[in-house]
Structure 1
């Protein structure tokens, strides 16, 4: 379905007099608020498990958020593409709100985790639908900038979430954090209704029939995205390995000073903000390949040197560099999928990418776990080498196929 002409008229009034359409601003603001709520709920359960010394409780929370996405993403993505993305998103957000509301009411830890898993399942649908609707709210010319602002905002939410969760949990307990997340989904539902009125449902590309493999096939066959997907997967694996092994290595570098360790983590997030914002500037937002390759190389270089140079004041700029690359890479990927993957399979493609990313994250957590074979410092170094090798392999594949991946349109 050609949706280019039908997207403009319903939003003409909202766009007048502003660089970024108001509809897109509303959708982004709601998404960021919901992301902050997710951080509160997740950390709330982690803190509850730690406070009550629940064996494997933290692992249980992590698995509850990872496994449903990996298992059900292809099916849920096909649902997003088969029906109205707006309708699917609103129902999914309602289910997430109800799940978190029920988790607030029940007292048992395992019951709460089960409800979090249900919310994670619904979250696959709402995130995929949100990805599909963003170009509708922002318009073709502003989608790249919208992805930039959304990615930068996610980094800000990642900075604010942990300390806010710790404070609220110490004052009022985990139930308040779960309730806040439930409210955040209702807020996002309201923002979605404002940003994407029901009158534009027909403008969102959809397919009457879909197959479970459509999302993976779309990612594999898309220019830029397919060729660089192994390197992207390696980068996600690398950052997940570091997030576990780095706890032990970086605390050692900081001589056990938890404040310095926390600043290390904040530095990465801070670096990702300008990286994401730069990737959304005119002249950069269409350079998908350069953003992804440059971002992955910055992550790789930052991790390798951070492992080789265990000096506090050296690691700070290295993490700024890696975070900058992380932000730029994320925006480059989102823009590449929006441009190179057909709109009618955006939901399936993004849901399948969620499954891929969660798989890499889970595997990274396992590989980053301390063991007797490789030290935590060695694990950090290896985590940086992995995306470097994957990028070299991707380059060889591109050259062998004769793909003109580096030649992209300027508009």
Structure 2
């Protein structure tokens, strides 16, 4: 819960971190309502990101019809995010979230419009690389803005992160339906033009309300910060709690993407699910994710509680994957299908709790002037783990889907358990100093 002075985590968020124009520094009902609209814009943008990703896959499948094009597209989305994430974090901490979002917004919208005109794989890849590069800067800026906007809108950081995760979950569920419908009625180019226009709403609101983040107080020029990337990230890497929780998150992302690749084979062949029942299984996990994210939004902001929830959520996901594989081996097909649907609901809850708790923990453990770099570190690890997980799942193949689920569950449980023990050991050594 917020402390009496209005900060969500004592000593981390200072009034100097919120740069509002003097004529808008009040937090009366009108201002609070306007800032809640800003949060709404962020949430709709999160859903639209998922819609664009699905619409892009629809476009490639129907217009180009090449599985190789989809592979290139996925790499074009992931590799720039990994390569440029460190620089995006430095830009946010050095120049502020407002300037970073505004400078990234215009090329981002232009590239989205150009992407809608691309009809060949090379141009699709080029424009996707450009978009992903812009996201590498705007993503950390949005993350760093969350505490600023949340406090001014009289929300807790936990609640805001919870709403963002719920929006992501809704986007993944509604994305195929909305993306397919929009392409069917409006075509791919028109869909991306609409999303491009909407993407300018958040930068406009940030400028209108003068929202900005606290700048880093570290010494040195911006040039030395960009050229010496490793040195710039030393303050983040010195925080053992952050390194441990992000490393654990990466291991769990690897394990879940590993099983995601073979999910359709696991559901269709090993469980004998029809297309409708495959959708039910996906909806079950998504419903659990929404419930878990909602629960985590009621957090207290206390460090031990945040860390505990993150590791607990990861362990629950691991147990869900492991027991799903066991159920497919031991139970009759119809019973196994019902059991896995229930297990997926619980696993989704762990997923939602884990994702929100990790974001809350990073906001809590890292000072405001370092949020950009902390989020970039988190994104780079997540994307790298996803790529490795997809390749690993692809190597396993359709015939070993149950083995993939068992291995994923064991890995996720082990990562959560070992991470929690290392975290407790690190905290004990800190308290003994």
Q: Do both share a fold (TM > 0.5)?
A: yes
Alpha-carbon separation, structure 1, partners of 2:158 and 2:371: 15
Gaps of 5+ in 1: 407-411
Q: What residue number does 2:207 align with?
A: 193
TM-score scaled by length of structure 1:
0.88
Task: Determine the structure 2 residue equivalent to 1:90.
Answer: 102
Task: Kindly indicate whether the alpha-carbon contact (under 8 Å) linking 1:32 and 1:157 is maintained by their aligned counterparts in 2.
Answer: no
**Alignment-derived partner of residue 67 in structure 1:** 79
Q: Does 1:113 align with 2:125?
A: yes
Within 5 Å, which residues of 2 pair with 1:222-233?
222=239, 224-233=241-250
| Number of the residue aligned with 1:378 | 403
CA distance in 2, matches of 1:329, 1:401: 20
Aligned counterparts of 1:28 and 1:206: Cα–Cα separation in 2 = 27
Q: 1:281 aligns to what SS in structure 2? A: coil
C-alpha contact (below 8 Å) 1:84/1:206 kept by paired residues: no
- Residue in 2 aligned with 1:349? 374
Counterpart of 1:409 in structure 2 is: none
RMSD: 2.9
**After the TM superposition, which residues 2-401 of structure 1 pair with which residues of structure 2 at under 5 Å, given as runs?**
4-6=14-16, 10=20, 15-17=27-29, 21-22=32-33, 24-51=35-62, 52-139=64-151, 142-194=156-208, 196-197=209-210, 201=212, 203-205=214-216, 207=218, 209=222, 210=225, 211-213=228-230, 216-222=233-239, 224-283=241-300, 287-310=305-328, 311-371=336-396, 375-398=400-423, 400-401=425-426
Deviation for aligned residue 1:289: 1.2
Q: What's the offset of the Cα at 1:8?
A: 6.5
* CA deviation map 1:322-378 (0-9, x unaligned): 111111111111111111112212111111211110001111101111546970111
Deviation at 1:291, TM superposition (A): 1.2
How far residue 202 of structure 1 moved from its aligned partner, in angstroms, is 7.2
After TM superposition, give the deviation of residue 220 of structure 1 in Å.
3.4
After TM superposition, give the deviation of residue 6 of structure 1 in Å: 3.1
Report if the CA contact (8 A) 1:31-1:188 is conserved. yes
- Higher deviation after alignment, 53-62 or 66-75: 53-62
The TM-score with structure 2 as length reference comes to 0.84
Q: Distance in 2 between matches of 1:241 and 1:123?
A: 25
C-alpha separation in 2, matches of 1:171 and 1:97: 22
- After TM superposition, give the deviation of residue 7 of structure 1 in Å: 5.1
- 1:201–1:317 CA distance, 2 compared to 1 (3 A): same
* Structure 1 pair 8–57 and aligned structure 2 pair: CA distance change class (3 A): closer
1:300–1:385: 8 Å Cα contact kept in structure 2?
Answer: yes
Equivalents in 2 of 1:373, 1:44: separation in Å? 26
Q: How much does 1:33 deviate?
A: 2.0
